[in-house]
Copies of this chain bind each other. A is one copy, B any other.
Amino acid sequence: MRFELNFRSGKPVYLQVVDQVKAAVASGAAKPGDALPSIRPLAEELRVNRNTVAKAYSELEHQGVITTEAGRGCFISAADSPLNKDARLQLVTEEMDQAVVQAHHLQIDRDEFVRLAEARFDAFALRRTAMR
């Protein structure tokens, strides 16, 4: 599982982690029983404080998304069925709408906007394969 953090978005980092784990579960990419990265290495990789990762995991446990087993690690709990395609598209649509709104205020036209969508998607895909 890979996390993408944006330190400038104003959204608390621990919530970004929470939301990304929940998204992975919702899509079926993370399945019940899968292990999450342990706190210390993940904190180092993300360059955030251990407390921040711990808070995210604690919140996830509180929401019933994961269970922590002392000394062993954190695991995805037996969870709700993953969301169907429409529901997942709906969640991405909410993010996309934010980008559309920003584009309107900054006078970015349709061509540029679509080119940007392609370019950024490809840039992320490339980074992922490169890290394998």
Residue from B12, B26, B63, B125 within 8 A of A10 (CB atoms): B12
Question: Hey, which bits of chain A sit against chain B, CB under 8 A?
Answer: 4, 6, 8-12, 15, 19-20, 22-29, 62-65, 79-89, 91-108, 110, 112-114, 116-118, 120-122, 124-125, 128
Q: In the complex, how many angstroms separate the beta carbon of A53 from the nearest chain B beta carbon? A: 15
Neighbouring B residues of A102 by C-beta, 8 Å: 22-23, 91-92, 95
Neighbouring B residues of A105 by C-beta, 8 Å: 20, 22-27, 29, 63-65, 79, 81
CA distance A28 to B108 in the complex (A): 12
4 nearest A-B residue pairs (beta carbon):
A82-B87, A117-B117, A23-B105, A95-B99
